[in-house]
Structure 1
């Protein structure tokens, strides 16, 4: 009986004790550098296979998004990553909860000469902490590095208002910001828009060139991605549209799959 109780106690101990690193994370795999896509994405060779990796828990300025201009420090972030990868002994490590994203990219922690590159990107101001997946093993480590970079005003933190405080991403303004009472006027490349009064004169038709809130007859109400959205709504949709989904609105500006350089206006809710 004593042996049985001891056996049960040992089993419970394994179940209840928090995961150690070796259990929460995979083994480290040696990889070879192929190329850098941007500051948080790259190609490496794992064995004989070339794979695309997306670094976990970080978000760097955009340089490849066709909907956005090249953002400040995007190229510098890519170069910083390239310097680590081209000249370092590289390893990748998975968080065991999920290994691939929906685009087939490998979600990894990247090491160069033993250093966690994800953390280096954040510590020196080339990246912010950002995540949409469940892997968060090094989250506290990266948050400490982010606080350090923010205090020192390194790179992305040297531009006031550049790091989006309302969610992931960055805010770029190439033109003076027009003061507005709406809290959603912080987006890339502010553009001039018609006044509310001029739009209200013809409320029954959607104004071309702007995201719409109106359902197009014959269009599916459920759309899978931005390609499908733009097939029926070339300029995007607002959060008032029946087909709107949060995944279409990564910058959380109340517009999904919108054209580049668009600022949300209150009249879009009736467009």
Structure 2
């Protein structure tokens, strides 16, 4: 009876823990990079044969479906995958369940320099966890990676409501396009403008009572004065001098036929 209990406990433990790698997935098979189809699909050469690989447990935005518009981050995901694989040493590994999908694509875990590419696409925010069938060896690990990318709001996670949390794929309506979040612009500090000296407003053609900035305050004669005050000045001006007002009409160096008027006090 005691031995039966021990056997039962061991049986339960083996059923709880996942199978070892040797039982769950195949050996790694070397392949050579050919091209990227999109963010989750790649063409490689196995021996002399070119085959198409569909990476397990991940899904990237759609760019090749003729029935659907190109989704946000679809093109970027393909370019990122191409740069990640192009110069790397590649190997692939089957899950020991279904090895091909209905399109004849090989369902694999892909490695670049021994790093799991499926996980890298999720980590960088270009892919979500998806395309889940019977192959689930790395499912929990990928879910942890996705949680981090989602918290950081990387790429596909930066667009509210874009990743379909109730099912597979992405929610995208081109008639009402989603807007990628952009960093808020840094407000520039306002630079105070230096005040500019205002020129005195005077009635043209008449002597002025206002001082022009930069002009001399005394003049030798009317010729010198008229370089700054072409129509002369009134008795209220700082540069007025009796020697320039020979007819004593309260105007100095004025033009002919001009007589003093009270409004000129403010001219």
TM-score, normalising length from structure 2? Answer: 0.59
Q: Larger RCO: Structure 1 or Structure 2 (Cα < 8 Å, ≥ 6 residues apart)?
A: 1
Alignment of 1:60-75 (within 5 A): 60-75=60-75
Distance 1:62 1:173 in 2: 13
Deviation sequence 1:50-74 (CA, Å, 0-9, x none)? 1110000000000000011111000
For 1:23-42, list aligned pairs within 5 A: 23-42=23-42
Of structures 1 and 2, the larger Rg is shown by 2
Residue 121 of structure 2: aligned partner: 121
Aligned pairs (5 A) from 1:210-249: none
| Structure 2: tracts of 5 or more residues without a match | 179-267
Give the conservation status (yes or no) of the 8 Å contact 2:34–2:45: yes
Tell me the CA shift for residue 132 of structure 1.
Answer: 3.6
Residue 19 (structure 1) shift: 1.7
- Where do 4+ consecutive residues of structure 1 move more than 6 Å? none
TM-score calculated relative to the size of structure 1: 0.59
Aligned mates of 1:16, 1:140 — CA distance in 2? 18
Secondary structure of 1:26's counterpart equals coil
Deviation track 1:32-52 (CA, whole Å, cap 9, x = no partner) reads 001110000111001111111
Map 1:67-216; keep pairs closer than 5 Å: 67-176=67-176
* Number of equivalences: 168
Q: CA deviation at 1:160?
A: 0.6
CA distance in 1, matches of 2:176, 2:40: 30
Give the drift of 1:85: 1.3
* Counterpart Cα distance in 2 of 1:170 and 1:131: 12
RMSD: 2.1
- Partner Cα distance (2:121, 2:91) in 1: 16
CA displacement 1:91-141 (0-9 Å, x = unmatched) = 000000111111111000000011100000001100000024210000011
**1:166, distance to aligned residue in structure 2 (A):** 1.8
1:174, distance to aligned residue in structure 2 (A): 2.7
Contact 2:69 2:174 in 1 (8 A): no
Aligned to 2:47: 47
